Structure 1
Amino acid sequence: MTSRTRPGDAHPYLRAASAGVRHHTRALTPSEANPPRSADRMHLDVLHAHLTALLQLLDRLAENTRPAHPAAGCHLATAHTRLWQATSEVHSAFHLLPYDSAAEAEPSACHPEWLPEGPPVLTICQRHLAAGHIIRRKTTPTDLRAHTTACVR
């Protein structure tokens, strides 16, 4: 797979985002020059933001595809549900990691508690709640627990 944008490509930003994820994955692969690193809260916050953006894209694709191609739309809806489950697990992992006040709250004259979106450490929760609201409007609790929907292939 190549990440180069072709002339007339309708999805250059999606290709660039995929290339960025692949690059980051390679950068985290352990080697002699690059010792293994565990996840930290900043990585999981950024990954959660990426997953919620993918949720929105997949939701829109499923919604637009289902009328013309019901079976394909159903599979996209299943993928949407499973991506939500992955997003939820990343959110849970974020809260299980230790808080590193030195890395996450650089001393400065700014006051993050005054930000309209709240302190930076809480933005993952706000993003997760907003995504969860959309999921719960379109997905049943049974689908969320079962890791699948009732699609017929």
Structure 2
Amino acid sequence: MATTTTDTSDAHPYLRAATAGIRHHTRALTPSTRTDRRHLDNLHEHLTRLHLLLDQLADAVRPEHPAAGRHLATAHLRLWQAATSLHDAFHTLPTAPACTLDRLPDGPLVLTICQRHLASGHAIRRKTTPADHGPA
């Protein structure tokens, strides 16, 4: 039986840092913490980037380990569903004063999250929808 050792010094430092950041924010949330659009936007960005990472991992694993690739593809789909739900929740929250154009240097959050969501959706459809090869 082979054992696998993981060298955490250089495995995936950015992913570990992002996970630590989420862990920190999760612990910092209290029942009185108000959820606003900026929180949902940040979480949506994290999920869409994780979604792209899983897509790359599934592509890399699938040729040698098809079963593992299928599991990663399922996780990929579930993350997309979670990102879609976050996008929907974002739009159901009332607009906060911080969401006004003059207070956001990058523009309104509604455009940022929608553009990101549309770009991710386009990438998914392009990859998962069979191409029309025209008449045979």
Taking structure 2 as the reference length, the TM-score comes to 0.81
Q: Give the ranges of 4+ consecutive aligned residues of structure 1 lying more than 4 Å apart after TM superposition.
A: none
Taking structure 1 as the reference length, the TM-score comes to 0.72
Q: CA deviation at 1:13?
A: 0.8
**Structure 2 residue 45 is the aligned partner of structure 1 residue 49:** yes
Q: Please, which runs of 5 or more residues in structure 2 have no aligned partner? A: 1-6, 130-136
CA distance in 1, matches of 2:65, 2:112: 36
Counterpart in 1 of 2:132?
Answer: none
Deviations 1:25-56 (A, max 9, x none): 000034xxxxx224210100111110010011
What is the aligned-residue RMSD (CA, Å)? 2.2
Quickly say closer, same or farther: Cα 1:103–1:52, change in 2 above 3 A.
same
**Structure 2 residue 105 is the aligned partner of structure 1 residue 105:** no
CA distance in 1, matches of 2:50, 2:43: 11
Deviations 1:46-98 (A, max 9, x none): 11110010011000000111011100001000000010000000000000000
CA distance in 1, matches of 2:79, 2:120: 11
In the alignment, is the contact (CA less than 8 A) between 1:81 and 1:139 conserved in 2? Answer: no
Classify the secondary structure of the residue corresponding to 1:124.
helix
Q: Please, which runs of 5 or more residues in structure 1 have no aligned partner? A: 31-35, 141-153
CA distance in 2, matches of 1:82, 1:6: 27
